[in-house]
Chain A
């Protein structure tokens, strides 16, 4: 209990201090993860919806693969992106390794399957309800996908939030491709890893609590914003 009290104090002092380094770490964390979730949603939502409404040979296998990719180990993704972006790798000339952009790329790879898999399930349920209408009206595939995505927009928040949770909390991938460089690629999770290895467990746990509070805030904002929009629409 002593440790937890210490870390609460550490967390509180950090928040009160308004330390610029600390604020930089928070904004970088949020910036990278939200950017990654944005691009992952741009990829994952249409992909999941397309998978839900189309029928083709091997579709079941594709669904299983997308679902399985939700369990991609971050360290492996980090390593693959590292090798790709390394100066000795195929994309080395871009010089992206150890930059926030590299971290965004790694997180997009991690998050897109999550968004796609959850979106696929949600859209498929909607599709079962409305398929006949769309078919009767002779609506094309692309229009159908867009329309179903709009129809399921509130439920799809869950898909996006699941992705956001993964992105903000993940450390394995961004530690490898970002390098945990102070002031450049140090995020909340990599800072926690660093403080743990320094043996400053109170500070590490304090940072962890702040991270939890941030995730809570993101989810709370999404939840109540969704409610407000729904109410306005009703």
Chain B
């Protein structure tokens, strides 16, 4: 039987080698969007939070749709995404509590330097989408139920265009994250809607440039909420609440504003000043 003991010993050794050698410090798991991670914001913001509180933040960066799904299943403590309607529904259905708005940035339309649809320069996103549809210039869509994807579909709707219905081949649904979608747009000399943060941090631009920005309809609000601890007792309510409170505190808001790439600010804090305990997290309502 000694061989069996030996096998178990080797297995145990391997398991302990595979677990990361970090000192066990308190941590929370945050489901968030690719835009916050790929823009580099989290790389800047989270170390500041960890330094001040000793709480490690483990980020699972996926599309907004998937992030909310992870929260719905109770697999994270905090959800930090950008799709107001979906967030409100998430809270409404009892999956989350204490939703707060944290910051905003904006979407931009990027396109090839050749600008086949001649949309460059303006700020009217709806007019630009009309031109793209009219000229059948290639447009790459996320198509992954992310916040950006939903915003894009809302804009097409506002333009009164159903791109999937009228498109022969110019509307291309990649079903992938913002980065891969930008990679695809660069390769195909296509237009696409991006959040500004991911764009500023994106390296493989090739011929792409911003063609439309500054439209009020391109506003992109980020919200944060705690997964309902009544529904899922595994949720780290206190640590999660600390994170949410910090993000919306003057310190957290200032840190967000301080994040810049080449001198350009990526996210604009807009948390409402938390007045007293009007939105106290410590008293969650049952779902």
Contacts and interface: CB of A to CB of B under 8 A. Distances in A.
A200 B183 CA distance: 10
A172 interface: no
A32 B204 CA distance: 31
Contacts of B140: none
B14 interface: yes
Nearest to B62: A179
B201 interface: yes
B11 A197 contact: no
A88 B61 CA distance: 20
Nearest to B10: A38
B22 A183 contact: yes
Interface string A25-55: 0011001101100110010000000000000
A95 B234 contact: yes
A149 to B, nearest CB: 12
A92 B60 contact: no
A94 to B, nearest CB: 10
Given A100-B19, A180-B61, A181-B58, A198 B73 contact: no
A133 B178 CA distance: 64
B203 interface: yes
A152 B29 CA distance: 46
Interface residues of A, number: 36
Nearest to A93: B234
Interface string A193-216: 010111111000000000000000
A86 B10 contact: no
Contact of B74 (A88, A182, A201): A88
A24 interface: yes
B59 A182 contact: yes
B20 A24 contact: yes
B273 interface: no
Contact of A197 (B19, B34, B75, B186): B34
B180 interface: yes
A100 B43 CA distance: 21
Nearest to A82: B75
Given A87-B234, A95-B234, A197 B14 contact: no
A93 B11 CA distance: 23
B232 A197 contact: no
A42 B11 contact: yes
Contact of B18 (A42, A86, A100, A194): A100
B180 A98 contact: no
B20 A28 contact: yes
Interface string B3-35: 000010011001101111010000001000010
B17 A31 contact: yes
**Max chain B CB contacts within 10 Å: which of A87, A100, A194?**
A87
B75 A198 contact: no
Contacts of A160: none
Interface string A68-105: 00000000000000000011110011010111110010
Contacts of B65: none
A42 B203 contact: no
A184 interface: yes
A104 B127 CA distance: 51
B205 interface: yes
**Max chain B CB contacts within 10 Å: which of A104, A182, A200?**
A182
Nearest to A83: B73
Interface of B: 7, 10-11, 14-15, 17-20, 22, 29, 34, 38, 43, 58-61, 73-76, 176-180, 182-183, 186, 201-205, 232, 234
29 contacts: A24-B20, A27-B17, A31-B17, A31-B18, A34-B14, A38-B10, A38-B14, A86-B73, A86-B75, A87-B75, A88-B75, A98-B58, A100-B18, A179-B58, A180-B60, A180-B61, A181-B58, A183-B20, A184-B20, A184-B58, A194-B38, A196-B183, A197-B176, A198-B179, A199-B179, A199-B204, A200-B203, A201-B203, A201-B204
Given A31-B18, A92-B74, A184-B22, 11 more contacts: A34-B18, A35-B17, A87-B232, A95-B234, A100-B18, A181-B60, A182-B59, A197-B179, A199-B182, A199-B203, A200-B203
Closest 5 CB pairs of A and B: A197-B179, A199-B204, A87-B74, A31-B18, A179-B60
